[in-house]
Amino acid sequence: MDNIIVMRSEDLRVRVSPRFGTVLDGYHRNGRPFLRPFAGQGASFAPTDTACFPMVPFSNRVGGNAFAYEGREYSFEPNDASPFYLHGEGWLSDWTVTESASDAIVLTLRRTDDARSPYAYEATQRLTLDGSRMTMRLEVENRARHAMPFGLGFHPYFPRTPQMTLQASARSWWTEDDYHVPDRNEPLPDTVDFSKARQLPHYGLNNCFEGWDRFAALNWPENGLLATIEADSVFSRYMLFSPPPDFAFLCFEPMSHTANGFHHPNFGGLIKLAPGESMSGEMRITVGEIS
């Protein structure tokens, strides 16, 4: 593939592509993946074939592909196989490499509003490696003519192995309706209470968890690896996505707002940005070996 940037530190190797602003894969020095191995075929790949893509200017779906904000009506054209406008535009756009070093890269995206989406903004990703830590920072500035509700998220894919455990405390979760839109906010069932490390349930997951303490740990005994995730305070929720039947991966997605926040009280944590204002958030993944 063309335009692939390889980042290295003493402990990690990560490949990045400006196509969709994606992390293609990530490996520990022991040769084992801490991010899902790249699933694409050569230069032709989708963001869902990669190990991580950015979610900007919001995450997840918008019910009805429309919302009202400060007296104005906005709408979207579907951009996914489902009838929804999903994850904003960042994950389906080509980004520009503005800085690159052996252990760091900066990607930017400038977007103007059009018939598909009313959002106009400039987004920046900064990815760095330092020893056993990978840091991912995402920032967005509103370039629209009016104030708009913004959100951020990361969509990393992690390997899912039979003995894998997850720890990620939360207060509650959202069930989903037939269109994969959050339906009801409920107390956590025991099977998805990850306040202590435990294996994942044997059914599909596609749920938003509220009240995250911004720390998570993924343990792969088969691979001899442990990854911890720490996130800035803006990321107060996470999504868990792991579809059947093979359960080959788990997506653990730090998000700044509730899925479909456009239709929740206080916009579900979406942040009002006036023209020229910005918001940002950082996620850090630290990888270590276990015996």
Q: What angle is formed at CA 175 by the lines to CA 174 and CA 176, rounded to 5 degrees?
A: 115
DSSP-derived secondary structure for 44-64: B--GGGSSEEEEBS--S--GG
Q: Residues 86, 16, 123, 241: what is their CA dihedral angle, to the nearest 10 degrees?
A: 30
pLDDT, one tens digit per residue, over 113-143 is 998 999 999 999 999 999 999 999 999 999 9
pTM for this predicted structure: 0.96
DSSP-derived secondary structure for 217-256: EEEETTTTEEEEEEE-TT--EEEEEE-TTT--EEEEEEES
CATH number of domain containing 257: 2.70.98.10
Residue 135 structural domain = 5-289
Residues 207, 239: contact at Cβ < 8 Å?
A: yes
Strand partners, 185: 174
Residues 223, 4: Cα–Cα separation, whole Å: 26
Tell which wins on pLDDT, 110 or 64: 110
pLDDT at 1: 62
Number of domains in the chain: 1
pLDDT, one tens digit per residue, over 27-74 is 999 999 999 999 988 778 999 999 999 999 999 989 899 999 999 999
Residues 276, 290: contact at Cβ < 8 Å?
A: no
